[in-house]
Amino acid sequence: MNRTLNVIMYHYVRDFARTRYPRIKGLDVADFRSQLAHLQRHYQLVSLETVIQALRGLDTLPPKATLLTFDDGYKEHYDTVFPILQQAGISGAFFPPVSSSARGILLDVNRVHFLLACTEATVLAKTIDQVVDDRQSELLLDSVREYRDRWAIANRFDDAETIYVKRMLQRALPESLRHDIASDLFSRHIGIEEEVFASELYCSSDQLRTMQACGMYIGSHGTSHRWLNTLSRKEQEAEVVESMDFLRAIGSPVDDYWAMAYPYGGWNEELIDVLTRHGCDVGFTTEVAAADLDGSSPLRLPRFDTNDVCSLVA
């Protein structure tokens, strides 16, 4: 009996020839179609509900079982991905943050993505370093050198300067300061009203409701797309409860089963305990591996990035 599951994680899926931000990191829609055709030929694409049933011992997974997940609730998920999946008879799992889809708030994570898509990381980093120097004593900040030693470390997707900008504006600095810096940089380098930008970037609640009604699964990505493992237990609780209320409102079957994809892949044992108490069935990390439903905790299942499709379990 198969208990191995490939989970693939997608973010931006767009027509890069027509986007205003061709440097945004994502998958071109033509490549998505090609990748999907490959997966249909060689793997068995399953729904989130099938995965839940297998975890509960009520169903089995087919050989080469593969689940498609889409994080962050981008409008292209509704306009582009959803019709492709629906035509192919595939149920994807989508994980939008509440703040962006329900309130139209531009998230810091996306401010940073689009800043990096239109401005060199060295330019952004120079501004960040200047703010740190200027406000170090006032806010009891570390020195620029200490921040750089800790955070300017390249990974498999980004160089060190890009990672430095991301981590400083997503995690390292105090929340209010990094929000102010990101907002100022966005105004300076992109110059579009944030409300307008957000309305063009994210799915609306009605669009998510339509996707859910048409066989897609809509799950939790928290409320504000923060690193949940850096929050207090009270803050984690608020993120989880608010996201569950949002899922109920759009018709997601929260009271039967529900799943969370951790923003940035960040989780800790306190968060796992909160999710367990609220009956969460599945939690998806960003660890790169196939999921063993017998050996992996259901609340810590790994996922392959779209760039890792060639590494899927055969």
Contacts of 237 (CB under 8 A, 6+ apart): 274
The pLDDT assigned to 17 comes to: 85
Q: Is the pLDDT of residue 1 over 70?
A: no
Q: Is the pLDDT of residue 284 over 70?
A: yes
The burial of 307, by beta-carbon neighbours within 10 Å (0-12 exposed, 13-18 middle, 19 or more buried), is given as middle
Write the DSSP symbol of residue 191: -
Distance CA 24, CA 192 (A): 17
Q: Is the pLDDT of residue 47 over 70?
A: yes
The pLDDT assigned to 164 comes to: 97
Given 196, 220, 253, which residue is the final one in a domain? 196
- Residues 220, 295 within the same domain: yes
Q: Which structure tokens are listed for 13?
A: 């899926």
Domain extent, residue 248, equals: 4-18+45-104+204-311
Mean pLDDT of 209-235: 96
* pLDDT tens profile 122-150: 999 999 999 999 999 999 999 999 999 99
Q: Is the pLDDT of residue 76 over 80?
A: yes
The pLDDT assigned to 312 comes to: 80
Mean pLDDT of 4-30: 93
The pTM score is: 0.94
**Residue 59 within any structural domain of the chain:** yes
Given 150, 177, 196, which residue is the final one in a domain? 196
- Residues 189, 112 within the same domain: yes
Q: Give the count of beta carbons closer than 10 Å to the beta carbon of residue 99.
A: 22
Q: How far is CA 64 from CA 17, 90, 221, in A?
A: 33, 15, 26
The pLDDT assigned to 314 comes to: 64
**Residue 37 within any structural domain of the chain:** no
Mean pLDDT of 180-207: 96
